[in-house]
């Protein structure tokens, strides 16, 4: 209903009785957040143990990368990259059957296989890679293999979720046309669904590889291989400049990974 009031129209998108309570609510939420943050930061920090501002900066600068240390960690860096590669590949392979189960349009049974597929996804996505790594280190011992498995478990959820969504967003008409030729379900899937999903799938796999380089870099801290082990060793030995070199090397590796994966992804989308 349009209400005309003395020369102007009440804006129906900004009704007074709606907007005033809304801004009051925003205000209350802001005060609560600020109060909690003050409690956390102002009262939660040990100000007495913190030294003078100069000393703080001095400590921070002691992390300045010691570039001479980098040749020593070239091997672990390469190991980190390889861990990311195999972890991603494993996740990519596992995500094919899981996404088939977790997509409403392809799952054989909404009662059994669909919840199963979704359960894998939720489990994978809600658990941190460090937790997976800890579990696999306990089960398999130290080394890159538990790291690879941890990365695979962590990425398979994202890969399966995005792939299942891509499957659901497919042109259903094309699938139906293939169905009408008498093709069975798996043939329909590989001939009508896979070609539609493949570019998205490949793009996401490369994206995951990029992220997994980052994840792989810290797994060594819990004994699951790669550069992380050297970082924590140098930290424990108070060799902050060497620890800084580890961080610096990982940053370079991640940037390289991102540049390369972006290039490949742009090409894929264009082609």
Partner 1 sequence: MVLLKISNLKKSFQGNEIALRDVSLTIENQEVIALLGLSGSGKSTLLRCINRLTEPDSGSIKLENLEITNLNKRELRKVRAKMGMIFQEFNLVNRLTVLENVLSGTLGVTSLWRAVTRAFPPNDIFRALELCERVGISSQVEKRADQLSGGQRQRVGIARALMQNPTLLLVDEPTSSLDPKIGREVMTLMCEVARERDIPLLFSVHDISLAKDFSQRIIGLKEGEKIFDKKTSSLDDKSLEQIYKIESGNSLLTSESVN
Question: Which x/- pattern over 128-167 shows residues binding partner 1 (rule: CB under 8 A)?
Answer: ----------------------------------------
**Residue closer to partner 1 (CB basis): 168 or 241:** 168
Binding of partner 1 by 32 (CB under 8 A): no
**183 lies in the binding site for partner 1 (CB under 8 A):** yes
Residue 70: phi, psi to the nearest 5? -60, -45
Angle formed at CA 66 by CA 65 and CA 70, multiple of 5 degrees: 100
Q: Is 177 in the site for partner 1 (CB under 8 A)?
A: yes
Residue 221: both structure tokens together: 């801290």
Contact residue for partner 1 among 171, 237, 262, 263 (CB under 8 A):
171
Measured from the CB atom, the residue of 138 and 177 that comes closer to partner 1 is 177
| Residue 173 touches partner 1, criterion: CB under 8 A | yes
- Burial (0-12, 13-18, 19+ Cβ within 10 Å), 50: exposed
200 touches partner 1 by CB under 8 A: no
Contact yes or no for 229/143 (Cβ under 8 A) = no
The pair of three-digit structure tokens given for residue 11, joined into one six-digit string? 């804006």
Strand partners, 117: none
Q: How many angstroms separate the CA atoms of 203 and 224, rounded? A: 27
CA distance 193 to 260: 28
113 contacts partner 1 (rule: CB under 8 A): no
Segment lying near partner 1 (by CB under 8 A), choices 13-21, 115-123, 183-191, 260-268: 183-191
Contacts with partner 1, residue ranges (CB under 8 A): 171, 173-174, 176-184, 186-188, 190-192, 195-196, 198-199
């Amino acid at each position: 209903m349009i209400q005309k009031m003395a020369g102007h129209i009440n804006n129906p998108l900004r009704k007074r009785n709606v907007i005033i309570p809304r801004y009051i609510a925003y205000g209350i939420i802001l005060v609560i957040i600020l109060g909690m943050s003050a409690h956390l930061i102002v009262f939660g920090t040990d100000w007495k143990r913190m030294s003078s501002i100069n000393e703080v900066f001095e400590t921070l600068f002691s992390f300045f990368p010691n570039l001479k240390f980098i040749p020593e960690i070239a091997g672990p860096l390469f190991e980190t990259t390889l861990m990311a590669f195999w972890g991603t590949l494993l996740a990519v392979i596992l995500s094919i059957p899981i996404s088939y189960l977790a997509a409403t349009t392809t799952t054989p049974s909404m009662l059994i296989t669909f919840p199963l597929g979704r359960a894998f996804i939720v489990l994978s996505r809600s658990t941190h890679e460090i937790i997976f790594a800890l579990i696999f280190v306990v089960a398999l011992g130290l080394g890159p293999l538990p790291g690879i498995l941890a990365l695979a478990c962590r990425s398979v959820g994202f890969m399966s979720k995005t792939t299942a969504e891509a499957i659901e967003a497919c042109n259903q008409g094309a699938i139906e046309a293939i169905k009408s030729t008498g093709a069975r379900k798996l043939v329909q899937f590989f001939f009508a669904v896979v070609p539609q999903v493949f570019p998205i799938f490949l793009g996401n796999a490369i994206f995951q590889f990029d992220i997994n380089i980052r994840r792989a870099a810290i797994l060594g801290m819990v004994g699951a291989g790669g550069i992380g082990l050297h970082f924590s060793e140098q930290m424990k030995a108070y060799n902050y400049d060497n620890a800084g070199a580890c961080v610096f090397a990982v940053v370079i590796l991640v940037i390289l990974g991102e540049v390369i994966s972006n290039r490949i992804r742009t090409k894929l989308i264009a082609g």
